[in-house]
Amino acid sequence: MYCQCINPFMPLDLSDLSDLAQVFIALVNLFLVSYVFVYQRAKDKEDKLNQIKLQDQNIHLQWFKELIIQPHLNDIYQFYKDIHDIEHKLKINPLGEDEKIEIVNYIKKEQVELRKSFMDAIRNIDQKLYDDIKENLDLLTDKLTETIINKDLDFSDKSIYDSEIKSIITYSRNDLISKIFNYKGIH
């Protein structure tokens, strides 16, 4: 009887290498399937969370539009229309100190009314949006106050009024509408 002993130093033959390669390939395939399954499951979960977040954001924006913007849109446009209407008051030349103070107080009164009707509602929704709009209106009021009190400007000249008053009002209105339009409803 011939005994075939396995010599550990003897190289493996081709069939043994083939068997080892198949086992290795099977293990790699098992790992890849597991990885793809875990990855896809995590991605599906993340996609679902993003979808729920987007749906909540859309609902939030819809309520914001219906409860805050639509009822107050006329207030916003009326505020800017009223501020534009100071043009006829500024055409008095020379404009006395009392008239200037009256115009500045009128602008401040209109801003307070807009704050009460529109901005207080926004404060409870989004503090950053509130701060941005408040900054816009405060800047408008400050610039108009400084410009109106300036003794060197003759507002009866339409080009001076347009460049020093009207452009400031128009920029403020456009910036305010832009801030509202770009609001994403994300906290």
Q: Is the dihedral of CA 28, 31, 33, 36 positive or negative?
A: negative
Q: Are 111 and 137 in contact (CB under 8 A)?
A: yes
Residues in contact with 80: Cβ distance below 8 Å, sequence separation at least 6, in sequence order: 169, 172, 173
* CB atoms near residue 16 (< 10 Å): 10
Cis before residue 94, ω within 30 degrees of 0?
yes
pLDDT in tens, the chain (187 residues): 455 555 555 566 778 888 888 999 999 999 999 988 899 999 999 999 999 998 988 888 888 888 888 999 999 999 999 999 988 888 877 778 888 899 999 999 999 999 998 988 888 888 999 999 999 999 999 999 999 888 788 888 888 888 989 999 999 999 999 999 988 876 5
pTM of the predicted structure, to 2 decimals: 0.72
Which domains can be identified in the chain, with CATH numbers? 52-181 (1.20.120)
The position carrying tokens 């080892």 is 20
